[in-house]
Chains A and B, each alone.
Chain A
Amino acid sequence: MTIEKPVARALLRDDNDIRKIERRLFLKQTLSVGALTLLTGCDVTDIGAVQKVTAAMSKWNDGVQAALFSQTRLAPEYAESDITRPFPFNAYYKRDRVPFVDGATYKLEVSGLVQNKQSWTLDQLRALPQASQITRHVCVEGWSAIGKWGGVPFRAFLERIGADTRAAYVGFKCADDYYSSLDMATALHPQTLLALTYADQTLPPQYGFPMKLRIPTKLGFKNPKHIMTMFVTNDYPGGYWEDKGYNWFSGS
């Protein structure tokens, strides 16, 4: 892979995202355009019914994926030479809107079904045992890229804060107003990582400073960046894209 190509692709995606967001505002309630309407003669009411069916199937698929998910099956790991350079930037906004977070005053807030709700500074998190991985990030759009992340194994962190690991969900709120959530089984997977570094350097802003959750068993949008708050809960927390229609489980 050449160096220019991913950059060009990343830029292309940014433009697409803007267009998609605009379009989504009025397409949210209408499943389809063009072909479906013309070829099936469906009116808008029918399309609403179709959407109900596909939304119900998406829930069913959450269950199927949870059943397929194995806590011991590891995502393939790669060599340093396989890393995609530069690793693409991706967000629901353009690069110039990446949020600024002050690492010196930053504290990760922990809430919900946990015993120890103290906040965590970056130095405290860096003092915990660290792990790293070179894994493939698969985007819901279809493209993929290999990167290297390092940080605190999330399972160890959950155990340290006394999280109720029988709870259903772990939710995240981010500095860029992004939010997401994942199932407890995936949260406890050995490769799920509270990532503080990218390519052995402090996680740069475009990749989610001060931290992102790196989950190689999930699609990219399930890997929240710029995490400010995490919470353990039994109430379905949804997510930024999930609430718009992306499948919630979205496992790889």
Chain B
Amino acid sequence: MTTADIADKSSPPAAKPIHPRLVRWWHWINAFAMFFMIGSGWRIYNASPIFKFRFIEDLTIGGWLGGALQVHFAAMWLFVINGLVYLIYGFVSGHFRRSFWPLRPRDVWRDFNLALAAKLEHHTGVYNAVQRLAYIGVIVALVGIVYSGLAVWKPVQFQTLAWTLGGYEGARIVHFLAMSAIVAFILLHLTLVALVPRTLLPMLWGRARGEHKTDGGGVS
């Protein structure tokens, strides 16, 4: 927690939102875009599976390959533009530095063990080290899925990108793995929100109930 945040706490009624407005908008637009990207992506995968399984068709979006491709290549614009705004904001405003940094391996290990023992307290507005690692990890996966996606979409025009991933077929596998990492994150994310439901409100409205009174002494 920065001194600026603590200073804000001294004037309770005008407490700073836990999640800035831009982050909240990014989050929900991204959730909407990812829903369509993943659902249609599974349908596209099913047309020619890389591995020995297919996704359940009722969990896919698009109705058939052509419909899924249309959804995928429409939603990608929302996903990518929204993501670029978030990345630029995250670096320029210091949001990434404030929220995800520092990230020390021993803190991750400590918080991981605390979490396993169900002793890790949730301090609204402060990410524990495991959360920081997960958020940085999913941002890397999101960048990776765009990178590999460009290589799969345009293996000739973006052949240098494709080459760095081992060519077209390599890019397909990286795209699948990045999707898997993102889906794993989403499952974990939704599970934790279900376990600690009060974390949902700040992502919707910016603040938690009684947030300005106490933060549980959260120190990063």
- The answer to the question of B165 belonging to the interface, with a C-beta cut-off of 8 Å to chain A, is no
The residue from B64, B71, B73, B168 contacting A144, defined by CB atoms under 8 A apart: B168
Kindly name the residue among B61, B67, B74 whose own CB sees the greatest number of chain A CB atoms within 10 A. Answer: B67
The residue from A34, A139, A241, A252 contacting B156, defined by CB atoms under 8 A apart: A252
Known contacts A31-B71, A141-B65, A245-B66; A216/B39 CB under 8 A? no
Are B157 and A138 closer than 8 Å at their CB atoms?
no
Are A57 and B77 closer than 8 Å at their CB atoms?
yes
Q: Which residues of A contact B69 (CB under 8 A)?
A: 140, 245-247
- The answer to the question of A116 belonging to the interface, with a C-beta cut-off of 8 Å to chain B, is no
Known contacts A35-B59, A70-B157; A57/B64 CB under 8 A? no
Closest to B32 in A: A40
Question: Tally of A-B residue pairs with Cβ under 8 A?
Answer: 109
Are A55 and B70 closer than 8 Å at their CB atoms?
yes
Q: Which residues of A contact B172 (CB under 8 A)?
A: 142
Interface residues on chain B, size class: 20 to 34
Q: Which residues of B contact A247 (CB under 8 A)?
A: 69-70, 73
Interface residues of A in 28-50 (CB under 8 A from B): 30-36, 39
Smallest beta-carbon distance A112→chain B, Å:
27
- The answer to the question of B128 belonging to the interface, with a C-beta cut-off of 8 Å to chain A, is no
- The answer to the question of A129 belonging to the interface, with a C-beta cut-off of 8 Å to chain B, is no
CA distance A68 to B153 in the complex (A): 12
Q: Mark B50-79, 1 if CB is under 8 A from A, else 0.
A: 100000011111111111011101100100
Are B60 and A139 closer than 8 Å at their CB atoms?
no
Are A57 and B63 closer than 8 Å at their CB atoms?
no
Are A252 and B61 closer than 8 Å at their CB atoms?
no
- The answer to the question of A23 belonging to the interface, with a C-beta cut-off of 8 Å to chain B, is yes
Closest to A57 in B: B74
Are B73 and A20 closer than 8 Å at their CB atoms?
no
Smallest beta-carbon distance A44→chain B, Å:
12
Are B155 and A252 closer than 8 Å at their CB atoms?
yes
Smallest beta-carbon distance B134→chain A, Å:
24
CA distance A65 to B45 in the complex (A): 22
Are B57 and A58 closer than 8 Å at their CB atoms?
no
CA distance A20 to B155 in the complex (A): 26
Smallest beta-carbon distance A5→chain B, Å:
12
Are A32 and B156 closer than 8 Å at their CB atoms?
no
Are B57 and A33 closer than 8 Å at their CB atoms?
yes
- The answer to the question of B47 belonging to the interface, with a C-beta cut-off of 8 Å to chain A, is yes
Are A27 and B39 closer than 8 Å at their CB atoms?
no
Q: Mark A132-151, 1 if CB is under 8 A from B, else 0.
A: 00001011111110000000
- The answer to the question of A97 belonging to the interface, with a C-beta cut-off of 8 Å to chain B, is no
CB-CB nearest 3 A-B residue pairs: A34-B58, A245-B66, A57-B74
What is the interface of chain B, defined by CB distance below 8 A to chain A?
Answer: 35, 39, 44-45, 47-48, 50, 57-67, 69-71, 73-74, 77, 154-157, 159, 167-169, 172
What is the interface of chain A, defined by CB distance below 8 A to chain B?
Answer: 9, 13, 16, 20, 23-24, 27, 30-36, 39, 51, 53-55, 57-58, 61, 65, 68-70, 73-76, 136, 138-144, 216-217, 241, 244-247, 251-252
